[in-house]
Amino acid sequence: MSAPTHTRPHPASRAGAAGRLPWWALALPVLAFTALLALILNPSDAHAATGDPAITRLFEHVQQLMTR
């Protein structure tokens, strides 16, 4: 008598369509890489972030409302 053999399909072959990545899983990293590359190639387009006074006033207003 021979020993029984149990074969299971390889996990990658069972995945099928469920194993595919959505379109944005490739598009977002490519977009981020392209944007960073553009900033490196043309640093004059990169502006320093400045504090917006409107946001500061909003936080102060929220703080005043919480202390009342």
pLDDT for 15-43, tens place per residue?
Answer: 555 678 898 899 999 999 998 888 888 76
Cα angle value 28/20/36 (rounded, 5°): 15
Q: What is the mean pLDDT of the chain?
A: 76
Residue 14 confidence (pLDDT) above 90? no
CA distance 13 to 1: 31
Per-residue confidence (pLDDT) for residue 60, from 0 to 100: 85
**Closest CA relative to residue 12, chosen from 3, 20, 2:** 20
Per-residue confidence (pLDDT) for residue 42, from 0 to 100: 76
